[in-house]
Amino acid sequence: MSDVTGPRTSTAGATEVGAQLNEAGGKGRGKSSRLLSVGGALRGVARQRARRAGLPAAPAVLIVPALGLVGYFIVLPIATVVLHAFTNWQPGMSSPFDGLANFRALTTSEEFRSILGNEAFLLLGLPFWVAVPVLISFALYERVRGANVFRAVLFFPSMTSPALIGVLFGLLLSPIGPIDRILTDLHMGFLAQNWLANSGLVKPVLLCVTVWWVTGIGVVLFSANLATLPQNLLEQAEIDGAGWMRKLWTVVVPDLLPTLRVWLLLLMIIVLGNMFPWIYTLTHGGPGYASTTLDYFIYNTAINIGQFGPAAAATVVLLALLGICIGLGMIVMKLAKWR
Amino acid sequence: MRHRGDVSVFRMSLLIVLLLPYLAPFGYVLFTSLKSNATYSVDPLGLSGFRGLVSYREAWSATDLGAELLHSLLAAGVGVIVSVTVSVLGGYWLFAARSRRARQLVSAVLLSAMAVPSTVYVIPLFVQLASAGLVDNLVVLGTIYGAIGAPLGSFLMRSYLMQLPTSVFDAASVDGAGTTSLLRLVVLPLCLPVIGTIATLIGILGLSDLLLASVMITGQSQTTAVVGIATLANMYDSQVPEVAAGVVVALIPILTVFLIAQRALRRGITSGMER
């Protein structure tokens, strides 16, 4: 056992970037992901200083385009929006300093409170978003025939546009759509309803649709991680009489911790900042504010209503929530690793 | 042994059941795109009332889908070119820069730029670009995709360089090659697989984007395909077959990129294994 944990820790220490590599490399699946994750495990070795010493020093000019683009298109706007959160922001006109007025307006707004509730609901759904791909990749791990085809089928939707998938599910879930039709034909018409116009159901439905979409990426990520898991570890556990659940908890989940950390980070970014295409194509935030998310609110408040100050304040709230969630997530994962 | 076999049969059937919700929506949208409006509203699942490609023609003319697809391809193409160029240079710098401090600092900046969702900066970026007269411009939109892809691309590039065998660079530096010729003669040819990966990821990002494309392109004349379909879905609520046809058409470029990239990646991997 101990001889396997040695090299494994180097992968465990791999940063988010390392896993991004696995994610991207996982597109080839099977061999490719295996090869690239082995590359990831070797990174500790590859870090030898001797390698760099042999090369001419790379001039700083090489990094200027990347920093310039990121600076102009990402960092500068972020600075702008944070500063203007404290002003009565009117683009093209003078924007007088306004203190916390924008934030005060948000805290008294019924809509904004509903939005925070919606975000909390989606964040509580995270275990679901984690469990589904972990279980699937574990089920695919032990030489299942057709595993690659299966992974490809799951992976394709998560590589397509959320907006197009949103439109597609809008058709599926509509009251004249096939889901309600099938329910009626099966004499379960009492279940048929306008899924997206029911304020109690709209959030769970959104959760299911987004899980449907995101699972493929998760399966590719977790499978790439599992490919580096020594086969004999599981066999050993089996000989020791471990059942499916026990193997999952004692061997697979600890092995997946580094990927889990990246995955949680990714999910939080999606839930807090990338729900827009789903809301835009499926619900427009309705019924009422039952499905409005923070990012949709920001878009709607600035672009449709033209209130840039409150939108900027909501952006700061988003950034703060993202920071808190990522920080908490990191702490939890760290504790889990120590245990 | 027998027990194991039972388990795998059970698992196989479970997987097949799981595949259904993944295949059915795509099958449904293809099926519906071939039906007529009238038969769809009477019986969405009925096996009658097909009308060939009429819905496609309607979707094509209703939203000017052909031009929109070209707009999408232009923006995504610019995004790919920009991000690949910037990532090759930046990734090599992250790999070979002398100062460890500088590398860490730049990595931190790029990593945080990567973690911030585009919702955070889309509004101020719009204001910034509008005052510079740069909105309604597909090349600028593509450059934004390039900027978003630059951090990820640079990191992928660096990781790839790190796992190449040391000997590759030894030979080159003995020859006394400068950075420029090193990049051109050694790094670029060796890194084609990872360049393919970066290009694919950013291409798909550009072809899929709704938020940036709908904010940065205000006029009707420059709309991208995804925005066009989303608008169509909102406008023609009752004409489901037409929307379905639009979704199918807009999925085609993404599916193409997906399939091509798989092959390119496999080629890169096999050539890597031969060595």
pLDDT value, residue A315: 95
Name the pLDDT band for B125 (thresholds 50, 70, 90).
Answer: very high
Closest Cα to residue A153, out of B11, B25, B132? B25
Cβ atoms of B31 and A171 within 8 Å: the answer is no
Burial B47-79 (b: 16+ CB within 10 A, else e): eeeeeeebbbebbbebbebeebbebbbbbbbbb
Residue B107 lies in a domain: yes
Q: Which residues does chain B have within 8 Å of residue A35's beta carbon, measured at their own beta carbons?
A: 269, 272-273
The residue among A27 and A137 whose pLDDT is bigger is A137
Closest CA to B84 of B173, B27, B160: B160
- How far away is chain A from the Cα of B124, in angstroms, using its nearest Cα? 5
Cα–Cα nearest to A140, from A251, A224, A48: A224
Residue B36 lies in a domain: no
Are the C-beta atoms of A161 and B208 separated by less than 8 Å?
yes
B36 falls in which pLDDT band (50, 70, 90)? Answer: confident
10 Å Cβ neighbour count for B142? Answer: 23
**Is B45 within a domain?**
no
Greatest mean pLDDT among A49-53, B9-13, B218-222, B233-237 lies in B218-222
Give pLDDT, residue B142.
97
pLDDT above 90 as % of chain B: 36
Specify the CATH number for the domain of residue B109.
Answer: 1.10.3720.10
| CA-based torsion, A302, A321, B209, B88: positive or negative | positive
Q: Is the pLDDT of residue A17 over 50?
A: no
Q: What percentage of residues in chain A have a pLDDT greater than 70?
A: 82
CB contact under 8 A, B251 and A164: yes
* Inter-axis angle of helices B2-33 and B240-274, nearest 10: 130
Whether pLDDT at B102 is above 50: yes
pLDDT confidence bin for A281, thresholds 50/70/90: very high
Task: Give the pLDDT mean for A163-179.
Answer: 89
The pLDDT of residue A30:
37
In a domain, B13, yes or no: no
* Tokens found for residue B256: 């193409």
What pLDDT does residue A280 have? 94
Q: End-to-end alpha-carbon separation of chain B, Å?
A: 39
What was the pLDDT predicted at A143? Answer: 64
Q: What sign for the dihedral angle of Cα A212, A217, A220, A222?
A: negative
Instruction: Using the predicted structure, report yes or no on whether residue A204 has a pLDDT greater than 60.
Output: yes
Residue A8: the pLDDT is 33
In a domain, B49, yes or no: no
Lowest pLDDT segment from A21-30, A84-93, A224-233: A21-30
pTM assigned to the model: 0.85
The answer to the question of residue B208 being in a domain is yes
Give the whole-angstrom CA distance, residue B108 versus residue B120. Answer: 18
- Say whether pLDDT at B270 is over 50: no
Tokens of A114: 């509903």
- pLDDT in the model for residue B267: 43
pLDDT digits (tens, 9 = 90+) for A63-121: 999 999 999 999 999 999 999 999 888 887 777 888 888 898 888 888 899 999 999 99
Domain count for chain B: 1
pLDDT score of B1? 40
In terms of residue numbers, what domain contains B197? 54-274
Q: What does the pLDDT read at residue B7? A: 59
Query: B51-93, pLDDT tens digit by residue?
Result: 778 888 888 887 788 899 999 999 999 999 999 999 999 999 9
Of A16, A46, A65, the CB nearest to B86: A65
What is the pLDDT at residue B271?
A: 33
Determine contact, residues A256/A248, Cβ cutoff 8 Å.
no
User: Is the model's pLDDT at A129 over the cut of 80?
Assistant: yes
On the question of pLDDT at B170 being above 80, the answer is no
Choose the most confident range, by mean pLDDT, from A257-271, A325-339, B133-147.
B133-147
Mean pLDDT of A134-155: 79
pLDDT tens profile B129-163? 999 999 999 999 999 999 999 998 998 888 888 88
Secondary structure (3-state) at B50: strand
Residues 6+ apart with CB under 8 A from A125: A207, A211
Side-chain-side CA neighbours of residue A277 (13 Å): 28
Q: For residue B137, how many other CB atoms are within 10 A of its CB?
A: 15
Write the pLDDT tens digit of every residue in B5-23: 555 677 677 777 878 888 8
- DSSP, residue by residue, B142-189: HHHHHHHHHHHHHHHHHHHHHTS-THHHHHHHHTT--HHHHIIIIIHH
Residue A206 to residue A212: CA distance in whole angstroms = 10
Do the Cβ atoms of A216 and A158 come closer than 8 Å? yes
Interface test with B, best of A16, A32, A173, A215 (most B CBs within 10 A): A32
Domain positions in chain A = 122-289
Q: Is A333 on the interface with B (CB under 8 A)?
A: no
Other Cβ atoms closer than 10 A to B24: 13
Residue B223 lies in a domain: yes
Mean pLDDT over A183-197 rounds to 79
pLDDT of B134 reads 93
Q: Is B172 inside a domain boundary?
A: yes
Whether residues A280 and B210 touch (CB distance < 8 A) is answered with yes
Band (A41; pLDDT cuts 50, 70, 90): very low
Chain A residues inside the 8 Å CB shell of B124: 77-78, 80-81, 84, 312
Q: What is the mean predicted confidence (pLDDT) over B224-231? A: 91
Residues of B in contact with A75 (CB under 8 A): 109, 113
* CATH topology (fold) of A122-289: MetI-like fold (1.10.3720)
- Chain A nearest C-alpha distance from B122 (Å): 8
* pLDDT mean over B162-169: 80
Interface test with A, best of B162, B169, B262 (most A CBs within 10 A): B162
pLDDT score of B4 more than 60: no
- Distance from C-alpha of B75 to C-alpha of B126, rounded to nearest angstrom: 16
Which residues in chain A are closer than 8 Å to B226, comparing Cβ atoms? 161, 163-164
pLDDT digits (tens, 9 = 90+) for A310-329: 999 999 999 999 999 888 88
Q: Residue B44 carries which DSSP code?
A: T
Instruction: Please give the residue that has the higher pLDDT: either A285 or A210.
Output: A210
Nearest partner of A134 among A32, A234, A248, A15, judged by Cα = A248
The pLDDT score that the predictor gives to residue B6 is: 55
Kindly state the average pLDDT of the residues A109-136: 90
Question: Taking Cα atoms as reference points, which of A127, A120, A164 lies closest to residue A293?
Answer: A120
How many residue contacts between A and B have a Cβ separation below 8 Å? 310
Provide the shortest C-alpha distance from residue A40 to chain B (in Å): 8
Nearest to A46 by CA among B93, B183, B159: B159
The highest-confidence range among A134-148, B77-91, B100-114, by mean pLDDT, is B77-91
Q: Output the average pLDDT for chain A.
A: 79
